[in-house]
């Protein structure tokens, strides 16, 4: 009797549909996204650093891998070499890449407002260098690009010097990494007479008495008249090849940036810096101070404004690096479709 019941049970089971094996799909595997930025803890790119800290990437089914390189130009060149998907870079360098036949594209904006950059001179020279005109014949530490592409900072500094009657060829440019260690080493070792760097590096270096601030673009009393002052600055860029190969990767990257920007702009600077876990308490305070003084330095939504694009054209024209004939700056910008989760 037991044997007949067992056979009937087996027959019943045989008639049931087999359970389908679990499928591994694109949606279930974290999407790896590699991004290069200068840093760590460069003010322009803090929203990128906060993404994995808050788990924004994981919430969107991705895994963001951040690598630090000396400059935005090198970060983008590394993308062109196939080693990363995106780079944090200054928008004004993109036309130069495009003129060389590189299909570079900006997908999201990080910054807004006045450029938060300053010139610091070595303390022992502060009595002799009192004005940007006094930098003629001096050495300036600055992140350098490559043989074919100037960095944004060099372009900006050249334009600033030009407004004081100092030509680029009248100073000596010294390659310096765009981070605290790079600027610290250049000043402390006496390798340069001055450095051009971003907040909060300038504040940190001045506080540690490694340099004296000579001038700041963020100072409302700054007399420099830079054409195209509201130009586009820090953006996330890639190549048309990367974007075409994986539209979803581009969409997720933009979604992450937008979420991070919204969070940073709606969160007290102290909490933002606390989440980043910066070990040097004084450096952390310098970042908090800069973010407090410049509350609108980050874009609200990562979108590009027509007024900024026109200001960028004016900036490039004034810097002696005009947009190539026939090139529309808008062609260097793409807007990946934002997911419904953004």
Phi, psi for 154 (deg, rounded to 5): -65, -40
- Supply the CATH number for residue 44's domain: 3.40.190.10
Based on the fold, state whether residues 145 and 280 are members of the same structural domain.
no
pTM of the model: 0.78
Phi, psi for 208 (deg, rounded to 5): -85, 10
Based on the fold, state whether residues 175 and 245 are members of the same structural domain.
no
Based on the fold, state whether residues 203 and 280 are members of the same structural domain.
no
Q: Sorting pLDDT into bands at 50, 70 and 90, what band is 148?
A: low
pLDDT digits (tens, 9 = 90+) for 291-328: 998 888 999 999 999 999 999 999 999 888 789 889 99
Structural domain for 302, as ranges: 31-112+231-332
Based on the fold, state whether residues 103 and 128 are members of the same structural domain.
no
Rg over alpha carbons for the chain, rounded to the nearest Å, is 25
Which tokens belong to 335?
A: 């807007």
Measured between alpha carbons, how far is 319 from 313 in angstroms, rounded to an integer? 10
Contact, 133 vs 164, CB < 8 A?
Answer: yes
Q: Within a 10 A sphere around the Cβ of 162, how many other Cβ atoms? A: 18
Residue 25 belongs to some domain of the structure = no
User: 195 by DSSP, 3-state: which?
Assistant: strand
The whole-number average pLDDT for the span 131-135 is 94
Contact, 43 vs 295, CB < 8 A?
Answer: no
Say yes or no to pLDDT of 174 above 60: yes
- Of 159, 185, 216, the residue at which a domain comes to its end is 216
Residue 195 belongs to some domain of the structure = yes
Measured between alpha carbons, how far is 230 from 154 in angstroms, rounded to an integer? 17
Measured between alpha carbons, how far is 115 from 234 in angstroms, rounded to an integer? 10
Based on the fold, state whether residues 132 and 45 are members of the same structural domain.
no
Based on the fold, state whether residues 202 and 126 are members of the same structural domain.
yes
Selection from 140-149, 165-174, 287-296 with the highest mean pLDDT: 165-174
Residue 285 belongs to some domain of the structure = yes
Based on the fold, state whether residues 166 and 245 are members of the same structural domain.
no
- Of 187, 216, 245, the residue at which a domain comes to its end is 216
Which tokens belong to 334?
A: 């793409």
Candidate from 52-56, 144-148, 203-207, 228-232 with smallest mean pLDDT? 144-148
- Of 183, 216, 249, the residue at which a domain comes to its end is 216
Residue 13 belongs to some domain of the structure = no
More confident residue, 30 or 267: 267
Say yes or no to pLDDT of 7 above 80: no
Say yes or no to pLDDT of 341 above 50: no
User: 91 by DSSP, 3-state: which?
Assistant: helix
pLDDT digits (tens, 9 = 90+) for 17-50: 444 444 544 456 789 999 999 988 888 999 999 9
Judged on CB neighbours under 10 Å (0-12, 13-18, 19+), 265 is: middle
* Tokens 């260097």, located at residue: 332
């Amino acid at each position: 009797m037991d044997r007949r019941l067992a056979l009937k049970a087996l027959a019943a089971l045989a008639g049931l549909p087999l359970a389908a094996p679990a499928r591994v799909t694109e949606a279930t595997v974290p999407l790896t996204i590699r991004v290069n930025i200068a840093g760590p803890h460069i003010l322009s790119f803090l929203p990128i650093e906060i993404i994995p800290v808050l788990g924004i990437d994981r919430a969107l089914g991705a895994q963001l891998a951040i690598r630090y390189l000396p400059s935005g130009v090198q970060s983008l060149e590394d993308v062109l070499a196939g080693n990363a998907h995106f780079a944090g870079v200054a928008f004004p360098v993109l036309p130069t890449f495009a003129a060389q036949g590189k299909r570079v594209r900006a997908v999201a904006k990080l910054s807004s407002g006045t450029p938060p950059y300053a010139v610091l001179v070595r303390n022992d020279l502060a009595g002799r260098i009192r004005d940007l005109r006094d930098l003629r014949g001096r050495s300036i530490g600055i992140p350098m690009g490559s043989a074919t592409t100037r960095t944004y900072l060099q372009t900006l500094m050249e334009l600033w010097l030009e407004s004081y009657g100092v030509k680029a060829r009248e100073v000596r440019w010294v390659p310096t990494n765009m981070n605290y260690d790079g600027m610290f080493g250049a000043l402390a070792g006496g390798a340069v007479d001055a450095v051009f760097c971003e907040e909060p590096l300038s504040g940190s270096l001045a506080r540690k008495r490694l340099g004296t601030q000579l001038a700041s673009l963020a100072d409302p009393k700054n007399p420099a008249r830079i054409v195209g002052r509201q130009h586009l600055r820090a953006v996330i860029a890639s190549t048309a090849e990367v974007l075409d190969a994986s539209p979803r990767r581009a969409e997720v990257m933009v979604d992450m940036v937008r979420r991070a920007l919204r969070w940073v702009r709606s969160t007290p600077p102290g909490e933002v810096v606390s989440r980043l876990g910066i070990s040097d308490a004084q450096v952390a305070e310098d970042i908090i101070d800069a973010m407090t003084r410049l509350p609108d330095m980050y874009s609200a939504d990562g979108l590009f404004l027509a007024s900024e694009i026109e200001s960028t054209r004016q900036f490039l024209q004034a810097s002696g690096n005009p947009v190539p004939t026939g090139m529309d700056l808008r062609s260097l910008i793409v807007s990946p479709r934002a997911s419904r989760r953004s």
